[in-house]
Structure 1
């Protein structure tokens, strides 16, 4: 439970989330990709990132030679979770961070099964200015609305030009924190279903928090004045704001008499960002963080709650493996789909991988064993840049209780962030975690084989002590490497800026259109 200490009195930072977890099911071994877009692609498509997307490129890229995968995010032709649920007569809604493609209308949430969309397309944007990146030296906004009556940039929700982190109450101007806008969108969806409780709906709320930039309303920032380090203070304040949002959503469901029939799934898309102190993240006691394949980068907080969770599972902690690609099959099962027969024929016809996720509802509900996940595939890339393009790699596997990490050959087999940050990190130290590397190659001497159940901090490699297991897992990585999906995503296309500035009033939006 995250806590803060004020004058010796321990206070929770996330009381609403803590309550949801204590009254729900904690998924203690939930794994995501080490960066945003691949995790989100995996959730939407029900595929492991190595079969869909391991790159965190921006949505303005295009490779004209590849009409399926020559873009950011989910390859065209892959059926999404929203499309599966929509076929089962669910209404589908997306609020928040998309990060799964924007280049064409076909990449947008409203073309991939979501009937309504209120959010932004990129990795992040400014919480006050709603801006991300520039075109011709001018900042571009990123906030979009799609519903029955309107589809386009959210110009009507723009803040005043003086609204910013250091000026949250400019005289005579509108200045609303972006997360408050998104929360309003979530509440609108819930209220829209209040009058018809028999109408099933799927709401995917992808909060901006607690992503960079570290920005938060002054009211929340001031709550944590006892914390000296500004970055840690901001991260705590942002976490506290997100917790308030979770409480608001739960209360809205209850007020609409929907809570008892709702399953709430809460999890992160990667570990906290610890690369430099100004990121404010901390994954204590795990090693590493976002952008690293150590546990701190890929083993993330996750829980299932809500009134639909069977009573016998409430308050439990589950140690069995769950991954991002499991949600599509799990949600499909809840919607009445026979997941043993569910296949993505259209994607397979294009040469893409079929669904790889496992229906985890039997395990989550405790009503039956179901299929047990025996392996987690860890994705990686040859890209040197954090958000660049590169070749798809298998960066390791987990076969309980063992985990094997393999660094990219073009990076001298080095895995970044070989460090466990202190409990109060960032704490004013000048360490740079991404510069602390560990060599993880194919030799027993420098192999990185860990028993993560007995050694969760990955402090002691067993590659020399268990050579047979080490070599068997290496062979499995080689087998998986033969199957990866590795398109060239392309380069930034000038049409993205042309559309933003000439068509969308200074907002990002789809920019490649059928001729």
Structure 2
């Protein structure tokens, strides 16, 4: 459903001399730890190779968003970006896209509830050409869940949390591995069979004789370049390109030439993560260069950030969020405070090289992009969703913060989502797991988990380091008592080492009260169970590829 909008004319950017409405390239990187960028890397780090020179340049030439917050896991963050809602009002679950709850036609699926408008819907309504490349992870059950039914004119990517970088496979059906790679454009919609690698292609056999063997990220990058090139000679119509990279999500797979660049690192998991981060950085450089070659860079705003922190649960995950506490799946800073920056030629010149300390979150992009596109965001509503009993947009228009203008709303609070699910990717009830009200952050563990919050650990800068520590098993009790309350001044204590719950009882209790107020209004559908029709469609309709499996009503 397209939201009701009221235009306020067009955005203007006199500093750049560019067009009045820019192209927008949104780059989302997966499980990208705080420590995995060069600009957060101290001189004591063991590896001497430049890890992310292109990202570092994007930051130094652009605006660093130092207080950008996401959800602690993949699908909720992505749902939040697409729908412009805090995860507690849209989706806090990381279930697989094969689940169905027939009793709930709106929220009984994985990802974004049906009926919620998306950022692509809003920009399409402003005559933007819209494109999605990469990991979707916001719903697959019906055609209405797919990117090409949620505002994107083209789609090239996969539906699940991840797949194999060489085999393009995710899970099994009838004892056979199922591929997950899809194409939707003006001439074709269906499985990307034509891009399948040879049967012997794999991490340990990257150059099988007589077979095609292409790293999936390279395929996705080519898709991004194709979109950019297609707008090289357009008539000035702006485009919105959302590139959702597979990197640096597990499995830890990377082309040999990148793996070999980090041969000086003894730990294989850290070496692989360094190599994957470096490959992603190369992609960022290629995207910037493609925009320049197409004479589009000056008229483009580039946004880059991670969907959550690096995965550190065990050493084989390879991630690192040093010096922050915790990582993916945890509500400590390492799980939800992520690398983020804004760049491109359309960014006002006087904001380049700056660091922004005000709060920005995943649900803010919809309102921000709408503002840039010329929408009066004070009147932007999602009437279709509201009519279904769903929450309206909750994001804040952050263009004033990004551009340096003082006008506009400044975000005063970040809501931290959580779930009662005891499984990493299971279903559960929606919880408010904490809030941030600068300079304070309060974390509240789920009652059914004895108020324990996982990954109460700060990993060393050279993690993983061969130790047998399992951060997932290191728990901290964060309850409603002064003794075990988890209240931190994250501006003075970014590693969350010193709880102030006993010292600041008034602030502690006021924030607990706010959590209780927010909890009364959460969206908590039952997502359902794995549906056999997903397997049937994959094997009988799509030739061994995942795809929509429930008929739209």
TM-score, structure 2 length as denominator?
0.91
Q: Does 1:44 align with 2:109?
A: no
Distance 1:148 1:463, change over 3 A: same
Structure 1 SS opposite 2:542: coil
Structure 2 SS opposite 1:497: helix
Q: How far off its partner does 1:369 sit? A: 3.5
Q: How far off its partner does 1:403 sit? A: 0.2
Cα contact 1:267–1:303 (8 A) shared by 2: yes
* 5+ residue gaps, structure 2: 1-44
Q: Does 1:480 align with 2:518?
A: yes
Distance 1:8 1:183, change over 3 A: closer
2-structure distance, mates of 1:463, 1:266: 35
Q: Could you give the per-residue CA deviations for residues 306-346 of structure 1, whole angstroms, max 9, x where no partner exists?
A: 00000000000000000000000000011100001000000
Q: How far off its partner does 1:137 sit? A: 1.1
Cα contact 2:170–2:179 (8 A) shared by 1: yes
Cα contact 1:282–1:421 (8 A) shared by 2: yes
Cα contact 1:128–1:164 (8 A) shared by 2: yes
2-structure distance, mates of 1:286, 1:495: 43
Higher RCO (CA-CA < 8 Å; seq separation 6+): 2
Q: How far off its partner does 1:125 sit? A: 0.2
Q: Could you give the per-residue CA deviations for residues 412-448 of structure 1, whole angstroms, max 9, x where no partner exists?
A: 0000000000010000000000000000000111000
1-structure distance, mates of 2:394, 2:482: 31
Distance 1:470 1:350, change over 3 A: same
Q: How far off its partner does 1:370 sit? A: 1.5
Q: Could you give the per-residue CA deviations for residues 279-312 of structure 1, whole angstroms, max 9, x where no partner exists?
A: 0000000000000000000000000000000000
Cα contact 1:288–1:295 (8 A) shared by 2: yes
2-structure distance, mates of 1:134, 1:270: 27
Q: Could you give the per-residue CA deviations for residues 252-281 of structure 1, whole angstroms, max 9, x where no partner exists?
A: 000000000000000000000000000000
Q: 2:303 aligns with which of 265, 268, 271?
A: 265
Cα contact 1:197–1:257 (8 A) shared by 2: no
Q: Could you give the per-residue CA deviations for residues 176-196 of structure 1, whole angstroms, max 9, x where no partner exists?
A: 000000000000000000001
Q: Could you give the per-residue CA deviations for residues 361-387 of structure 1, whole angstroms, max 9, x where no partner exists?
A: 011001333111000000000000000
1-structure distance, mates of 2:342, 2:160: 27
Q: Does 1:375 align with 2:429?
A: no
Q: Could you give the per-residue CA deviations for residues 482-511 of structure 1, whole angstroms, max 9, x where no partner exists?
A: 000000000000000000000001000000
Structure 1 SS opposite 2:311: coil
Q: How far off its partner does 1:197 sit? A: 5.4
Match of 2:278 in 1: 240
1-structure distance, mates of 2:92, 2:436: 18
Match of 2:248 in 1: 210
2-structure distance, mates of 1:295, 1:514: 40
Cα contact 1:99–1:121 (8 A) shared by 2: yes
Structure 2 SS opposite 1:127: coil
1-structure distance, mates of 2:418, 2:47: 43
In the TM superposition, 1:140-179 aligns within 5 A as: 140-179=178-217
Q: How far off its partner does 1:349 sit? A: 0.4
Cα contact 2:46–2:462 (8 A) shared by 1: no
Q: How far off its partner does 1:96 sit? A: 0.1
Cα contact 1:197–1:258 (8 A) shared by 2: no
1-structure distance, mates of 2:413, 2:494: 17
Q: How far off its partner does 1:199 sit? A: 1.4
Q: How far off its partner does 1:248 sit? A: 0.4
2-structure distance, mates of 1:495, 1:254: 45
Distance 1:134 1:452, change over 3 A: same
Structure 2 SS opposite 1:263: strand
Structure 2 SS opposite 1:12: coil
2-structure distance, mates of 1:436, 1:10: 31
Q: Could you give the per-residue CA deviations for residues 62-114 of structure 1, whole angstroms, max 9, x where no partner exists?
A: 00000000000000000000000000000000000000000000000000000
1-structure distance, mates of 2:141, 2:215: 27
2-structure distance, mates of 1:41, 1:54: 9
2-structure distance, mates of 1:96, 1:359: 26
Q: How far off its partner does 1:9 sit? A: 8.8
Q: Could you give the per-residue CA deviations for residues 129-169 of structure 1, whole angstroms, max 9, x where no partner exists?
A: 00000001110000000000000000000000000000000
Structure 1 SS opposite 2:379: coil
Cα contact 1:393–1:481 (8 A) shared by 2: yes
Structure 2 SS opposite 1:11: coil
1-structure distance, mates of 2:105, 2:533: 16
1-structure distance, mates of 2:258, 2:444: 41
Cα contact 1:220–1:241 (8 A) shared by 2: yes
* 5+ residue gaps, structure 1: 1-6
Q: Could you give the per-residue CA deviations for residues 391-425 of structure 1, whole angstroms, max 9, x where no partner exists?
A: 00000000000000000000000000000000100
Cα contact 1:103–1:509 (8 A) shared by 2: yes
Match of 1:191 in 2: 229
Distance 1:124 1:8, change over 3 A: closer
